[in-house]
Structure 1
Amino acid sequence: MWKIYVDGAVNQRGSGIGLVLVSPEGITIEKSLRLAFLATNNEAEYEAVLVGMDMVQKMGGRSIHMFSDSQLVAGQVMETIEAKDFRMQEYLTKVKCLQSKFDSFVLTHVSRSGNTHADSLATLATSSTKGLPRLILVEDLLRPASTAASVIRIH
């Protein structure tokens, strides 16, 4: 079963989504996407859900356990909250259509503190109005630069 953590972010610089996919073998895939269109926070959350589902489907996955800190989106998808807004109904219809292609699909609401990794990736996508490099290395500086030999560890 694939585990997917999703989040959407909207601020004055734009909208973005973050995804952390964990394969059944334990391989982690991180994705940060800037939305090139106007979106509300709930729309960004749904976009993250749809992109995550699409990615797993393209990789041949058949079972998903997804986690989102959006109580509204999780509730609508799992049918504990009614989608009253027209746009939310459209997104929900798309999710249900994709959901039918999986053997198992669960979307669980988690607290924001339980979704910080996906949140960071969503925020990264909105951190600048200019394009970001396609590859961003995150490194640990193991010793202060003032020491004779600093060591950098690349993840």
Structure 2
Amino acid sequence: MVSLQEPLTWRVYVDGAVNQRGSGVELVVVSPKKITIEKSLRLGFLATNNEAEYKALLVGMNMVQKMRGRTVEVFSNSRLVVGQVNGELEARDLRMQGYLSQVRHLQSEFKYFALQQIPRSRNTHADSLATFATSSARSLPWFILVEDLCKPTEMKREKA
């Protein structure tokens, strides 16, 4: 009997960010069982935005690999990184060539690997983590609870 079961594909949304306060790497990893893992890292070195984008991609690929994922789809809003990895753009800068080489090495270890550019509007989850990592104080708690308030608090009027 032949089983035509779909491969267990991991989905990774990556973003890198650089501003006057520092650089950060952000990613959202979604397992085949729909478990979402968020990761936000501050880079302890000076980086360009493109370097941060590559670092985000590498961190995401490493995470999936460590969790024994063999098929992965990665989504990034970086036209440069996606273009270089997909062979549509040339990596001219030596540092970009180094990052591209690392991606190629990791890419070869996956059964299936796809990298797709998406607009920033479709990468808001990773982008919000990017903003958080590069603009927040270093002593923040590890867990942040977010609650949706659907209506304003009703004010009770005092009787005169």
Query: What TM-score, normalized by structure 2, do the two folds share?
Result: 0.87
Larger radius of gyration: 2
Bigger mean CA deviation after superposition, 28-37 or 42-51: 28-37
Which sections of structure 1, spanning at least 5 residues, go unmatched?
149-155
Aligned to 1:27: 35
Relative to total residues, which structure has the larger strand share, 1 or 2?
1
Which of these residues, 11, 15, 22, is aligned with residue 14 of structure 1?
A: 22
Give structure 1 regions of 4+ aligned residues with deviation exceeding 6 angstroms: none
Aligned to 1:36: 44
In 1, the alpha carbon distance for the partners of 2:82 and 2:46 equals 22
In the TM superposition, what is the alpha-carbon distance from 1:131 to its structure 2 partner?
3.2
Bigger mean CA deviation after superposition, 124-133 or 113-122: 124-133
In 2, the alpha carbon distance for the partners of 1:54 and 1:131 equals 26
Equivalent residues in 2 for 1:2-81 (5 A)?
Answer: 2-81=10-89
* Cα deviations by residue, 1:23-65 (Å, 9 ceiling, x for unpaired): 1111111111111111100000000000000000010100110
| Structure 1 position 101 matched with structure 2 position 113 | no
Equivalent residues in 2 for 1:107-146 (5 A)?
Answer: 107-146=115-154
Please report the RMSD computed on the Cα atoms of aligned residues, expressed in angstroms. 1.4
Query: Matched residues, percent identical?
Result: 65
Match of 2:63, SS state, is helix
In the TM superposition, what is the alpha-carbon distance from 1:145 to its structure 2 partner?
4.3
AA aligned opposite 1:94: Q
Match of 1:72, SS state, is helix
Query: 1:10·1:39 contact (CA, 8 Å) conserved in 2?
Result: yes
In 2, the alpha carbon distance for the partners of 1:74 and 1:131 equals 34
AA aligned opposite 1:48: A
